[in-house]
Amino acid sequence: MHRLQTVALAALLSNSASAVPYAEYILAPSQRDLSPVNVYRTNGTVINAAGVTTSGSGSTIFNSVSAVTYDYTKNIGGLVSFIVSSSSDSEQYLGISFTESSMWISPDGSDATQNIAIDETLWFRITGPGNYSVEPLHDRGAFRYLNVYHNTTGNVTLSHLQTYFTAMPHFPDDGLREYTGYFHSNDEKLNRVWYAGAYTDQLCTIPSTSGNSLVDLDATDPNMPTVWWSNSTLTNGSSAFTDGPKRDKLIWPGDFAISVPGVFLSTDDAITVKLSLQQLFASQNTTTGALPWFAQPVYAFPENGFLNLGKVVFSFNYHLFTLLGLHNYWIYTGDDEYLQNNWNRFKLGLNYSLSFVDETGLANVTSSFDWLREGMGGHNIEANSILKHTLDVAVTLAYAVNDTSHIESWTNASTAIASAANILLWNDTASLYKDNDTTTSLHPQDGNVWSIISGIASANQSTAISAALAARWGPYGAPAPEAGTTVSPFITGFELQAHYLAGQPQRAIDLMRFMWADFMLDDPRMTNSTYIEGYDVSGALHYPAYADDARISHSHGWSSGPVLALSTFAAGLHVLNKTSWVAHPQPGNLTEVEAGFEVGYGSFAAEYLVTAEGVKYTFSTPAGTKGSLILDAPGCKGKISIVGSNTAGDGKVQRTEHGGGRDKGFHWNKQVENQEASSSPWKCGVWGPSPASQRSASDSTITIDGLAGGNYTVEITCA
Ligand SMILES: *[C@@H]1O[C@H](CO)[C@@H](O)[C@H](O)[C@H]1NC(C)=O
Ligand SMILES: *[C@@H]1O[C@H](CO)[C@@H](O)[C@H](O)[C@H]1NC(C)=O
Ligand SMILES: *[C@@H]1O[C@H](CO)[C@@H](O)[C@H](O)[C@H]1NC(C)=O
Ligand SMILES: *[C@@H]1O[C@H](CO)[C@@H](O)[C@H](O)[C@H]1NC(C)=O
Ligand SMILES: *[C@@H]1O[C@H](CO)[C@@H](O)[C@H](O)[C@H]1NC(C)=O
Ligand SMILES: *[C@@H]1O[C@H](CO)[C@@H](O)[C@H](O)[C@H]1NC(C)=O
Ligand SMILES: *[C@@H]1O[C@H](CO)[C@@H](O)[C@H](O)[C@H]1NC(C)=O
Ligand SMILES: *[C@@H]1O[C@H](CO)[C@@H](O)[C@H](O)[C@H]1NC(C)=O
Ligand SMILES: *[C@@H]1O[C@H](CO)[C@@H](O)[C@H](O)[C@H]1NC(C)=O
Ligand SMILES: *[C@@H]1O[C@H](CO)[C@@H](O)[C@H](O)[C@H]1NC(C)=O
Ligand SMILES: *[C@@H]1O[C@H](CO)[C@@H](O)[C@H](O)[C@H]1NC(C)=O
Ligand SMILES: *[C@@H]1O[C@H](CO)[C@@H](O)[C@H](O)[C@H]1NC(C)=O
């Protein structure tokens, strides 16, 4: 029997912690009181520095000017406290500082949350034995290294040092590892990549009351550590889904376009997504329909320039990301009421976007604000691709709320964007779209990956774009030339989807392996647990958009794109809405891929296995749903057989046959011949992209529609 049936499905039906499949990969802690794991470095005279770590025992004595840098071995976040058992006198001081990357370890401050310098050290005057804790406004949302600095003569003895983990505040203290989703493959790098993405999203889920206050944003002295507080309130609930737990600790809609699906595919944390989305909609200008660049906090004091800027800035794309966020929330919750409640806001917002469309059929973007790329304006390909995609999404949502009045105009606008973009922006020599109609040299990453996601690019163009993008990869990742020398894991997360959609799963897998695993996890400057927001093509941890390298966030939800890529594309579990799905495995050269997740309306699971005879793909979808199975044509002569049964809500097997008949189960058989077997690089039974020449040909995939939710086994055996 397959692990899918014996372990994974059993786990999905049970609430017991031990049953979470592949829990050994989960990085979230099993409880909230966390002691450091290791001593990274000691300065000066410290006796038994490791005493307060998980592996140590006994007290730690700081003698004269000395410091210990403790290593949690992964990114964590929360409130630090310690117990002093003795001190030489009542005029001792201990200073606490934090950093995500080892690059910023310093007794003089933490890595940065403002635009300049580093964040100030938190000083404690040690008057004698007792418990000392940071104030709640100093909840440090993400750090791996914790530095304790003793700056005086005399001594201080610590008997305990801990961080109270504050992420996922609304989950039970012992429930942080209760994932509803899992992923596993024969590639250990990808397994780590998936779980680090899920954990990144967890760390980004912070207590609603520990939002950024950006209090020292106007600081100008690069040598003067800045004041930092985390005490604004972000949502009308207990949690908030932010861009990053160190900073900005604000609700940014970019994340709703890519990491929100990852949240559902790993922890199904619907309430946080809903509260955060609500705050984005609450900041909508009800006259124009404009949605904010980022959500205004519910309460922040004092006000600051950045929050005020957020009230007036309009970003064409971030506006659309909030609309796409509503769609993503609806897909995985089936919450029709919430969709209905926000439908007028959605329409108002979409109409505002359409007001930028000119006689060419394309939107002319007049605001430069985007994901901190350059040259965002005019008939921009990224903006128009995202607008087309949002229009197509709007049509599906309109059917769901039975408001069909705009469907024709939205459909026409979508078609017009696609044809205008292909006339004005496609460069056949480069096999890429150019950034806008006034540039000849810049072919952006963002617009090209979105042209595939939106369907502006045809199948043949998608194949060509996928190859052209891959040809630009550097040793540390996929470049985003529209942002100087940036590598953007945010945009590259969309690039992963683009390669899958272009029928090139191996490119997505290769990119996840060398960019996310080899660099973003394994480089020693990283946290080996959460994903950095951006860096330089040279591998320098310099994000070209920022002057201050210490400011870079090493835990950014927008970099967690592989969670969606692996569960949805590699394992093939595409959820369209609460009643509809597509199963389409794209494993590339992986020989085992397994994923599953549970959302409010049911559970999904799939397993792909290369066997001695060929390939076996088993999948399971909720009773009462409907879907399609898509198989990439196998690179061999052989036989495909599909056996399935759909289960009724009562758990009884309800035997049906595809296309009519009863009491026979579902059976489907097909003989396949690969016309280009000799030129195909794919071994018998290993699925993969068909040769490029066949991509748009009808025989490059096999589609079986109208499958009822249930359990299916697909076997491909080679002749
Ligand atoms: C700490 O300081 C006190 C007071 O000066 C002294 O008695 C004690 O020996 C010191 N402890 C250590 C371990 O140095
Ligand atoms: C440890 O000492 C080195 C060398 O003096 C110094 O550069 C570094 O900042 C110190 N680190 C800490 C955490 O005190
Ligand atoms: C130690 O740090 C505290 C807090 O910044 C400061 O008040 C004190 O003067 C420092 N002591 C020495 C000896 O530097
Ligand atoms: C909404 O946008 C209009 C036009 O830009 C502006 O005049 C108005 O002040 C905005 N309203 C709010 C509440 O910001
Ligand atoms: C945040 O903390 C600072 C410093 O204690 C305080 O002045 C400010 O009022 C607080 N703001 C909020 C929103 O609680
Ligand atoms: C068009 O694209 C180029 C290259 O990105 C950029 O320099 C230019 O500013 C863009 N035009 C507008 C109007 O934004
Ligand atoms: C876009 O609109 C701006 C402002 O109305 C205008 O100056 C610019 O020429 C337009 N760009 C294009 C490509 O039409
Ligand atoms: C769900 O998606 C399917 C396939 O696109 C569609 O036929 C169906 O109408 C959708 N259901 C709802 C409620 O939107
Ligand atoms: C839309 O109409 C269908 C069929 O009349 C109905 O089942 C469904 O509940 C309606 N949905 C909403 C959101 O009103
Ligand atoms: C197409 O791209 C090439 C670079 O690959 C560039 O040299 C050429 O000028 C571009 N053509 C147009 C019409 O933009
Ligand atoms: C990184 O984390 C993984 C667990 O996710 C661990 O097995 C590995 O040893 C760590 N690498 C380093 C260099 O610590
Ligand atoms: C999968 O293909 C990549 C190259 O695209 C190669 O590096 C890797 O070794 C292959 N893995 C297996 C298991 O064949």
Ligand 10 atom 4, closest CA: 430
Calculate how far, in angstroms, residue 146's C-alpha sits from the geometric centre of ligand 3.
19
Ligand 2 atom 1, closest CA: 43
Per-residue pLDDT at 19: 82
Distances in Å between the alpha carbon of 384 and those of 349, 436, 483? 15, 10, 18
Name the pLDDT band for 5 (thresholds 50, 70, 90). very low
Distances in Å between the alpha carbon of 295 and those of 235, 274, 306, 605? 9, 13, 12, 35
Cα(299)–Cα(282) distance, rounded to whole angstroms? 13
What average pLDDT does this structure show over 165-179? Answer: 98
Calculate how far, in angstroms, residue 100's C-alpha sits from the geometric centre of ligand 11.
16
Q: Name the DSSP letter for residue 477.
A: B
Q: pLDDT tens-digit profile of 99-125? A: 999 999 999 999 999 999 999 999 999
Whether the predicted pLDDT of 664 surpasses 70 = no
Enumerate residues 6+ apart whose C-beta is below 8 A from 251. Answer: 234, 235, 240, 241, 242, 243, 276, 279, 280, 294, 295
How many CA atoms lie less than 13 Å away from 695 in the CB half-sphere? 17
**113 in Cβ contact with 157 (< 8 Å):** no
Whether the predicted pLDDT of 212 surpasses 90 = yes
- Residue 340 near ligand 9, beta carbon < 6 Å: yes
- Residue 87 near ligand 2, beta carbon < 6 Å: no
Calculate how far, in angstroms, residue 206's C-alpha sits from the geometric centre of ligand 12.
38
- Residue 215 near ligand 5, beta carbon < 6 Å: no
Residues facing 480 on adjacent strands: 486
Name the pLDDT band for 567 (thresholds 50, 70, 90). very high
Minimum-distance ligand 5 atom for the alpha carbon of 300 = 13
Give 6: exposed, middle or buried? Use CB within 10 Å, 0-12, 13-18, 19+. exposed
Enumerate residues 6+ apart whose C-beta is below 8 A from 369. Answer: 293, 313, 314, 315, 316, 318, 376
Minimum-distance ligand 4 atom for the alpha carbon of 311 = 14
Q: Name the least confident of 138-147, 212-221, 346-355.
A: 212-221
**261 in Cβ contact with 181 (< 8 Å):** no
Task: Provide the H-helix boundaries in 98-253.
Answer: 188-203
**179 in Cβ contact with 26 (< 8 Å):** yes
Indicate the pTM of the whole model: 0.94
Q: pLDDT tens-digit profile of 248-272? A: 999 999 999 999 999 999 999 999 9
- For residue 487, what are its two tokens? 């590598």
Minimum-distance ligand 6 atom for the alpha carbon of 368 = 14
**36 in Cβ contact with 146 (< 8 Å):** yes
Calculate how far, in angstroms, residue 214's C-alpha sits from the geometric centre of ligand 5.
11
Q: Which ligand gives the minimal distance to the CA of 225?
A: 3
Minimum-distance ligand 12 atom for the alpha carbon of 506 = 5
Per-residue pLDDT at 188: 98
Q: Which ligand gives the minimal distance to the CA of 233?
A: 5
What average pLDDT does this structure show over 557-561? Answer: 98
Residue 192's CB is within 10 A of a number of other CB atoms, namely: 18
Q: Which ligand gives the minimal distance to the CA of 152?
A: 3
CA angle 338, 342, 348 (to 5 degrees): 165
Nearest 5°: phi and psi at 160? -160, 145
Enumerate residues 6+ apart whose C-beta is below 8 A from 97. Answer: 105, 106, 107, 108, 109, 110, 119, 121, 122, 146, 147, 149
Domains and CATH numbers, the chain: 33-165 (2.60.120.260), 181-567 (1.50.10.10), 571-718 (2.60.420.10)
- Which residues' Cβ are closer than 6 Å to ligand 8? 396, 399-400, 576-577, 579-580
**181 in Cβ contact with 198 (< 8 Å):** yes
Per-residue pLDDT at 249: 97
Name the pLDDT band for 640 (thresholds 50, 70, 90). confident
Residues facing 248 on adjacent strands: none
- Residue 484 near ligand 6, beta carbon < 6 Å: no
What average pLDDT does this structure show over 406-413? Answer: 98
Calculate how far, in angstroms, residue 597's C-alpha sits from the geometric centre of ligand 8.
20
Q: pLDDT tens-digit profile of 70-88? A: 999 999 999 999 999 999 9
Calculate how far, in angstroms, residue 120's C-alpha sits from the geometric centre of ligand 5.
17
Minimum-distance ligand 12 atom for the alpha carbon of 590 = 13
Q: Which ligand gives the minimal distance to the CA of 523?
A: 11
Residues facing 317 on adjacent strands: none
Calculate how far, in angstroms, residue 403's C-alpha sits from the geometric centre of ligand 6.
37
Q: pLDDT tens-digit profile of 324-340? A: 999 999 999 999 999 99
Calculate how far, in angstroms, residue 560's C-alpha sits from the geometric centre of ligand 8.
27
Cα(561)–Cα(559) distance, rounded to whole angstroms? 6
Which residue type sits at 26?
I
SS (H, E, C) 97-125: EEECCHHHCCCCEECCCCCCCCEECEEEE
Ligand 12 atom 4, closest CA: 510
Calculate how far, in angstroms, residue 681's C-alpha sits from the geometric centre of ligand 12.
13
- Residue 402 near ligand 9, beta carbon < 6 Å: yes
Minimum-distance ligand 1 atom for the alpha carbon of 47 = 13
**Bond before 302 cis per omega within 30 degrees:** yes
Mean pLDDT over each residue of the chain, to the nearest integer? 91
Per-residue pLDDT at 693: 34
DSSP letter for each residue of 502-567: TT-HHHHHHHIIIIIIIIIITSTTS-SSS--S-EETTS-S--TT-S-GGG--S--GGG-HHHHIII
Calculate how far, in angstroms, residue 290's C-alpha sits from the geometric centre of ligand 4.
9
Cα(529)–Cα(535) distance, rounded to whole angstroms? 17
Q: Which ligand gives the minimal distance to the CA of 366?
A: 7
Whether the predicted pLDDT of 285 surpasses 90 = yes
Enumerate residues 6+ apart whose C-beta is below 8 A from 412. Answer: none
First to last CA, the chain: 24
Minimum-distance ligand 6 atom for the alpha carbon of 376 = 14
Q: Burial letters for 38-77: b for 16+ Cβ neighbours within 10 Å, e otherwise? A: bbbeeeeebeebbbbbeebeebbbbbeebbbbbbbbbbbb
**Residue whose pair of structure tokens reads 């009491």 in the numeric block:** 663
- Residue 528 near ligand 11, beta carbon < 6 Å: yes
Per-residue pLDDT at 424: 98
Calculate how far, in angstroms, residue 127's C-alpha sits from the geometric centre of ligand 9.
67
Cα(691)–Cα(503) distance, rounded to whole angstroms? 10
Q: Which ligand gives the minimal distance to the CA of 370?
A: 6
Q: Which ligand gives the minimal distance to the CA of 355?
A: 7
Ligand 9 atom 5, closest CA: 402
Ligand 9 atom 2, closest CA: 402
Pocket test for ligand 12, best of 190, 589, 592 (most atoms within 8 A of CB): 589
- Residue 319 DSSP SS3: helix
Which residue type sits at 106?
S
Distances in Å between the alpha carbon of 598 and those of 215, 264, 536? 40, 8, 37
Whether the predicted pLDDT of 298 surpasses 60 = yes
Pocket test for ligand 6, best of 362, 380, 439 (most atoms within 8 A of CB): 439
- For residue 164, what are its two tokens? 């109270």
Name the pLDDT band for 163 (thresholds 50, 70, 90). very high
- Sign, CA dihedral 543-548-550-556, equals negative
